[in-house]
Chain A
Amino acid sequence: MNTHNSGSGRIEVRDVGVMFESRGAAVIAVDGVSRTVEPGEFVSRIGPSGCGKSTLLNIVAGFVQPTSGETLLDGKLISRPGSDRGVVFQQYSLFPWLTVRKNVEFGLKMQGVPGSKRETSARTLLGLAGLLSFENHYPDQLSGGMKQRVGIVRALATSPQVLLMDEPFGALDAQTRVVMQEILTNIWQKFRLSVLFVTHDIDESIFLSDKIFVMTARPGRIKAEIQVNLPRPRKPEMTTTPEFVELTQRLRALIREESLSAMGGELKDGGLGGFGMEVGPSGVGAVM
């Protein structure tokens, strides 16, 4: 476990483009994205739905091959999934036939780590996430928030250099999500590994990240890069500070432009004005 960062976990995305076919036509999902995530950095990608933010994460995870360009982890070309990159999915992805602890041990078992050693590491990690008393439960006995916590712990068990998270709290209710964000920022503080976090929740991205990439609507490009200089460790009270609120407003404005253009031209021409409705991918986040 890298409790201090040894300088590994650098993700380089070089001029990556992704195309796919839809109804006989080529669609550009991601277009010429180049960015680097530094070791130990917490980076979020945010943008309107369908902007290719998950596609980029899937490329780094090794599930999808880019049509052009390349991605590197610590200088090595990424071509397939591997345990050096932990992934937390939006859907619950625990193996229902394994207990919580066996789920956490899974990656170590695949590496051939002996049973007693696996058990010790799994129990340590579960203790950190407050789940030790549930180690012998099956996933179907857990709440959504607990399942995702086990998912995070499972991804950390093989000591990856980076953690890739694809809207991991998207399926949770608003209250649970806030608690999960806090737990995640605490875990990250301990492990100091690079995190690439995909979300459409503005508050979430600010609360967690060092840096936020705002994506354009399709084709996905990087529209803006926002540095978050809020002090660490992050606390929920910070969400009401002027700095936080200012960042929220900046991001909301940026994303609103993209959402409108994604929804089509007729809305862009002021068609929304008369309704006074709040359009934004942040949903509940905009009200909070």
Chain B
Amino acid sequence: MAAVIPLGASAAGAPAGAAPPPPAAADLAAATAAARARAWMWARRRRAAGSGLLWALSIVGLLAFWYVCTRYRLEFYMRFTNVPTPADVLQKLVEVNHSTKFITNVWISVRRILTGFGIAILLAVPLGVLIGRYRTVRDLLMPAAEILRPIPAIAWVPMSIMLWPTNEVSIVFITFLGSFFPILLNTVHGVTTLDPVLVRAARCLGASEAQLFRAVILPGVMPQIFTGLAVGIGVAWVSLIAAEMISGQFGVGYFTWEAYSLVNYAEIALGMITIGMLGLVCSGVIRVVGNLVMPWRAHSAGGNR
């Protein structure tokens, strides 16, 4: 049987029977332990550095492939004859910035994303929480949602032009639609899979229904909401670019399509790269905000470290 352990002592405490080692031996043991810890940290740093090297290699490799294919105008089954070289695109980037036209196009796309995605968050998160929590709301809204969900946002373009008074609103609507369903469904899933023991615990600690939403359900589904946001922002960009190409004036999608019509190869590539970079920045922002909002995730076994 266990020895008498005072209130609060952890089971992992020092074994009561072990005699302390003589001081010299203890110093030696501490010194070797410190050396081992240092070696271990170095090994970790080396691994981190190796990982960074691979990252750089990946990006340099992609650029090198592009450069070789376009510099030597390779033609096998694919044809790189008309594809601009990296230098062409870089030169184009400098050139387009002589006027504000390009940057205005970028800003207009970003504004459309922020508006459409923002409205999607404001509607999908509360709706998702209500659908997940109340059976009545679920039975009332989910059948309609399930019918509308499989329609790709791009298929809404003609209808959207009919529905909304201006082109601008219809493009924002398409962007909104693209991100609405991923956020909604992930939020619903988060609420329905929330551990019921947490709700019970909150209840018997005196939480009212309103307090339950604020203090338990919302933080409890936060990880799934952010999964929804990560998926949603990607679909929002896809939808936005498609809508801009079809019906837009202004925007990066429009810029890229216009370049194609005007047979301006370097601008096509510049438009594509800009879209890619904007998508990358948006996903990065969502990840950073997610880590700030959910500091506990850094410690959980399944969390992203």
Interface residues of A (CB under 8 A from B): 61-63, 80-83, 85-87, 89, 91, 93, 95-98, 106-107, 109-111, 128-131, 138-141, 143, 145-146, 149, 154-155, 158, 175-176, 178-179, 182-183, 186-187, 235-237, 239-240
Contact present for A140 and B205 (CB under 8 Å): no
Contact present for A140 and B296 (CB under 8 Å): yes
B294: which A residues are within 8 A, CB to CB? 97
Contact present for B200 and A175 (CB under 8 Å): no
Contact present for B206 and A82 (CB under 8 Å): yes
- Partner pick for B204 among A82, A111, A186, A237, CB 8 A cutoff: A82
Within the complex, the shortest CB–CB distance from B277 to chain A, in Å, comes to: 33
Contact present for B200 and A89 (CB under 8 Å): yes
Docked CA distance A140–B197 (Å): 16
Interface residues of B (CB under 8 A from A): 1-5, 7-12, 195, 197-198, 200-208, 211, 215-216, 219-220, 222, 294-296, 299-301
Q: A63-B200, A91-B197, A97-B220 are in contact. Are A107 and B206 (CB under 8 A)?
A: yes
Closest residue on chain B to residue A179 by CB atoms: B11
Within the complex, the shortest CB–CB distance from B192 to chain A, in Å, comes to: 18
Within the complex, the shortest CB–CB distance from B190 to chain A, in Å, comes to: 13
Docked CA distance A81–B78 (Å): 69
Contact present for B2 and A179 (CB under 8 Å): yes
B301: which A residues are within 8 A, CB to CB? 140
8 contacts between A and B (CB under 8 A): A85-B204, A93-B198, A93-B201, A95-B201, A97-B296, A110-B211, A138-B296, A176-B11
Contact present for B206 and A111 (CB under 8 Å): yes
Within the complex, the shortest CB–CB distance from A108 to chain B, in Å, comes to: 9
Contact present for B300 and A87 (CB under 8 Å): no
Contact present for B7 and A128 (CB under 8 Å): yes
Closest residue on chain A to residue B303 by CB atoms: A140
Within the complex, the shortest CB–CB distance from A187 to chain B, in Å, comes to: 8
Docked CA distance A237–B300 (Å): 38
Within the complex, the shortest CB–CB distance from A163 to chain B, in Å, comes to: 11
> In the complex, given contacts A82-B206, A138-B300, A236-B3, what are 9 additional A-B residue pairs having Cβ atoms less than 8 angstroms apart?
A63-B204, A82-B204, A93-B197, A95-B216, A128-B7, A130-B7, A130-B10, A140-B299, A235-B4
Contact present for A87 and B201 (CB under 8 Å): yes
- Partner pick for A96 among B202, B215, B296, CB 8 A cutoff: B296
Contact present for A81 and B200 (CB under 8 Å): yes
Contact present for A83 and B7 (CB under 8 Å): no
What does DSSP make chain B's interface, helix, strand, loop or mixed? loop
Closest residue on chain B to residue A189 by CB atoms: B7
Closest residue on chain B to residue A131 by CB atoms: B8
Docked CA distance A239–B11 (Å): 19
Docked CA distance A139–B297 (Å): 11
A130: which B residues are within 8 A, CB to CB? 7-10
Q: Which 6 A-B pairs have the closest CB atoms?
A: A130-B8, A83-B206, A107-B205, A81-B204, A81-B203, A97-B219
Within the complex, the shortest CB–CB distance from A235 to chain B, in Å, comes to: 7
B11: which A residues are within 8 A, CB to CB? 145, 175-176, 179
Contact present for A106 and B215 (CB under 8 Å): yes
Within the complex, the shortest CB–CB distance from A150 to chain B, in Å, comes to: 12
A93: which B residues are within 8 A, CB to CB? 195, 197-198, 200-201
- Partner pick for B299 among A138, A143, A178, A182, CB 8 A cutoff: A138
A91: which B residues are within 8 A, CB to CB? 195, 197
Contact present for A87 and B296 (CB under 8 Å): no
Contact present for A87 and B12 (CB under 8 Å): no
Closest residue on chain B to residue A129 by CB atoms: B8
- Partner pick for A86 among B2, B204, B300, CB 8 A cutoff: B204
B299: which A residues are within 8 A, CB to CB? 138, 140-141
Contact present for A110 and B215 (CB under 8 Å): yes
Within the complex, the shortest CB–CB distance from A238 to chain B, in Å, comes to: 10
A110: which B residues are within 8 A, CB to CB? 202, 205-208, 211, 215
Closest residue on chain B to residue A154 by CB atoms: B205
Q: Which of B8, B205, B219, B299 has the most CB of A within 10 A?
A: B205
Contact present for B204 and A83 (CB under 8 Å): yes
Closest residue on chain B to residue A240 by CB atoms: B1
A95: which B residues are within 8 A, CB to CB? 198, 201-202, 216, 219-220
Closest residue on chain A to residue B301 by CB atoms: A140
Within the complex, the shortest CB–CB distance from B63 to chain A, in Å, comes to: 41
Within the complex, the shortest CB–CB distance from A143 to chain B, in Å, comes to: 7
Docked CA distance A129–B207 (Å): 24
- Partner pick for A89 among B1, B2, B197, CB 8 A cutoff: B197
Q: Which of A96, A131, A139 has the most CB of B within 10 A?
A: A96
Q: A96-B300, A110-B211, A237-B1 are in contact. Are A145 and B204 (CB under 8 A)?
A: no
Contact present for B1 and A178 (CB under 8 Å): yes
Contact present for A183 and B8 (CB under 8 Å): yes
Q: A61-B204, A83-B205 are in contact. Are A183 and B7 (CB under 8 A)?
A: yes
A176: which B residues are within 8 A, CB to CB? 11
Closest residue on chain A to residue B222 by CB atoms: A97
Closest residue on chain B to residue A180 by CB atoms: B11
